[in-house]
Amino acid sequence: MIFFTTGLPRPVIFSASATLKARHFAVEQLLVASAAGITLTLPTPIRELSGKASYIVNSSSGKITLSGAFNTARTAETLEPGSSAILVILPTSASTLKWHILGGKPQAWLTWTPSLSWGTATPTVTTVARYRYIGNAVEFVLDITTTDGAGGVFQSASLPVTPADIDAYVPVRATCLVDTTYSAPTLEIDAADGTAGNRKLYARETITFTDDKTCRLSITGRYEV
């Protein structure tokens, strides 16, 4: 049996990693992480707690990890130092409950190695590829540069996390520099393909890296996961 309380939240302080219980969300409602680097594992979402908000505060000087069945493609969320968030269980389907995290600071930037596809020729390039989670979305920056375009035609790039299949195409922003000439080519994320491996970033017009010229393609965007 789960008992609920009213009035001011009762704080519980965690200085080490812990597996949380349902009572932490039914009775205490205010969780404080006082040590950096710890992991707080959330209980399995249950209907008795559905819709009931609890608060978590990271009062430490470093990141903490929340582990559980979240409403995203991930099983863990990072809470930045000095930030707070609201945790609530909500249904994602008629028979499925998931944890939702509201507020807090965006997750720190991470790196990934994109798989690039070229036509005509494959130039030797340097990439800077960074991304971060913001709720159930991924924000990314991809910068592709070379001192010799080699006549390559950019076609596609893999993304850090597979986009959700939302039956839609997601436009991104891009700038292309070839020698001294700038352009704004059209690219988009295919989030409509039923095959996960095909849901990636595609050029929707010809983007040619000229032979023996310095070239750069810079792309930024956000998509649902």
Q: Which domain CATH number covers 169?
A: 2.60.90
150 & 71 share domain: no
Report the percentage of the chain scoring pLDDT > 90.
66
Rounded to whole angstroms, the Cα distance separating 149 from 173 reads: 21
Residue 182 in domain = yes
Q: Is residue 5 part of a domain?
A: no
Residue 52 phi, psi dihedral angles, 5° rounding: -100, 120
Q: Is residue 46 a part of any domain in this protein?
A: yes
- Given 54, 71, 103, the domain boundary residue is 103
- pLDDT at position 28 is 67
Model pTM? 0.65
Q: Identify whether residues 26 and 71 lie together within a single domain.
A: yes
Do residue 136 and residue 219 come from a single domain?
yes
**pLDDT at 1 exceeding the cut of 60:** no
Residue 208 lies in a domain: yes
Does 131 share its domain with 208?
Answer: yes
Which stretch of 90-99, 104-113, 180-189 has the lowest confidence by average pLDDT? 104-113
Say which DSSP state 44 is in: P
Domain that holds residue 143: 110-224
Residue 5 clears pLDDT 60, i.e. is over it: no
Judge contact between 90 and 64, C-beta under 8 A.
Answer: no
Residue 172 belongs to a domain: yes
Distance (Å, rounded) from C-alpha 67 to C-alpha 79? 11
Do 209 and 124 share a domain, yes or no?
Answer: yes
Q: Is residue 107 pLDDT above 70, yes or no? A: no
Q: What are the structure tokens assigned to 116, written together?
A: 């690039």
Q: How far apart are CA 19 and CA 84, in angstroms?
A: 19
pLDDT band at 2 (very low <50, low <70, confident <90, very high): very low
Based on the domain organization, do 146 and 189 belong to the same domain? yes
Distance CA 185, CA 182 (A): 10
Residues 119 and 206 in one domain: yes
Q: Write the CATH number for 55.
A: 2.60.120
Report whether pLDDT(138) > 60: yes
Q: Are residues 74 and 135 in the same domain?
A: no
Distances (CA, A) of 166 to 26, 31, 49, 132: 34, 35, 29, 20
What does the pLDDT read at residue 195?
96
- Decide which of 84, 103, 122 is a domain's last residue: 103
State whether 202 and 178 are in the same domain. Answer: yes
Buried-state track 94-133, b at ≥16 Cβ within 10 A, e below 16:
eeebbbbbeebbebeeeeeebebbbeeeebebebebebbb
For residue 3, tell me if it sits in a domain.
Answer: no
Specify whether 99 is located in the same domain as 117.
no
Position 146 pLDDT exceeds 60: yes
Mean pLDDT of the chain: 90
Same domain, 22 and 94: yes
Query: Residue 106 in contact with residue 85, Cβ under 8 Å?
Result: no
Residue 155 covered by a domain? yes
Cβ neighbours around 44 below 10 Å, total: 11
Number of folded domains that form the chain: 2
Residue 206 burial (10 A CB sphere; 0-12, 13-18, 19+):
exposed
Rounded mean pLDDT, 107-132: 93
* Position 71 in a domain: yes
pLDDT of residue 148: 98
Count of C-beta atoms within a 10 Å radius of residue 196: 11
Q: Which of 82, 103, 124 is the last residue of a domain?
A: 103
d(CA 75, CA 65): 10
Encoded tokens for 41: 């594992």
Q: Round to whole Å and give the CA distance between 17 and 38.
A: 5
- Say whether both 58 and 33 belong to one domain: yes
